[in-house]
Amino acid sequence: MTSEATIVDLHCHSIASDGTLPPAEVVSRATANGVEILALTDHDTIAGLDEAYHSANDNGIKLIPGIELSATWQGKLLHIVGLDIDPEFPPLKQGIQILKDMREERAIEMGKRLARAGFSDAYENARRLAGDGNVTRTHFARHLIEAGVAKDFTDVFKRFLVPGKPGYYRVDWVTMEDAVAWITGSGGVAVLAHPMRYMLTASWLNRVLIAFKSAGGEGIEVVCGRNSPDDNARSAHFARKHGLLASQGSDFHEPGKWVELGKLAKLPDGMDPLWLRWNQQ
Ligand code: AMP
Ligand code: MN
Ligand code: MN
Ligand code: MN
């Protein structure tokens, strides 16, 4: 059986979205780091799950099929992690197709904007870096760093890829309610990812969480990748206040540049860990 001491990482990325490792390597790296339960949660795609499953079998690690959906609620961007989803559930598959089309149109628009700012071929390069997968802002960031335009991710996002900057193009994605319904309808659990990263006031976050819960959301990431200890404590407060289960994940994308798979702070006291439902058969 699992316990709170089990090493659990329920949020990470592979080359199927904006990570740099193939799904099989994400799984073997997690295993080497001692992770016992891992969820692969690529942005708006399930394309990495088959490979991850095979690797999880070989490595003897429990893999939870996951996804991180891009959504909006009242104009606010939210990331909704779906865990233990059925990737074959038709409404979820249709939702993923909608998001894929939105991402492609958005990438083309971002490319046009960057071209007007003097950076030609940004779309083509981001598209190349994304391979068969969805283009994300991370792919544009990697290209602009490679091209010597910016020195690192922090620099490139701040100067080009956030609201008000030349490469930013606003997209409303899908509604939070739809994203949650596709996840829960498939038999999965919907989790609000990294609640401290949206820069919402406490009253806005409370409103988001009330709406999220009434849509069928059950969990909130309490411990996640780049959280400070204070972020973890504040997230725990919101979990308690709204009666949400606690999730945790590294949000790993790339060795060296992100928090490592499985290397997470301890969950604050008084939380209900969401993963206790998954035993390790
Ligand atoms: P997108 O979903 O296409 O808007 O891309 C969002 C992704 O960009 C996130 O999932 C992160 O991986 C990455 N990202 C966003 N902001 C930053 C930042 N300041 N530094 C590094 N990566 C970032
Ligand atoms: Mn990402
Ligand atoms: Mn995210
Ligand atoms: Mn993520």
Question: What's the CA gap between 65 and 78, in Å, rounded?
Answer: 20
Q: Whose CA is nearest to atom 13 of ligand 1?
A: 138
Q: Which domains does the chain have, with CATH numbers?
A: 8-93+176-277 (3.20.20.140), 96-161 (1.10.150.650)
pLDDT of residue 281: 47
Question: How do residues 115-139 score in pLDDT, each as one tens digit?
Answer: 999 999 999 999 999 999 999 999 9
What is the Å distance from ligand 4's center to 122 Cα? 23
Question: How do residues 154-210 score in pLDDT, each as one tens digit?
Answer: 999 999 999 999 999 999 999 999 999 999 999 999 999 999 999 999 999 999 999
3-state secondary structure at position 81? strand
Q: Whose CA is nearest to atom 9 of ligand 1?
A: 138
What is the Å distance from ligand 1's center to 18 Cα? 9
Do 16 and 133 contact (CB within 8 A), yes or no? yes
Q: Whose CA is nearest to atom 14 of ligand 1?
A: 138
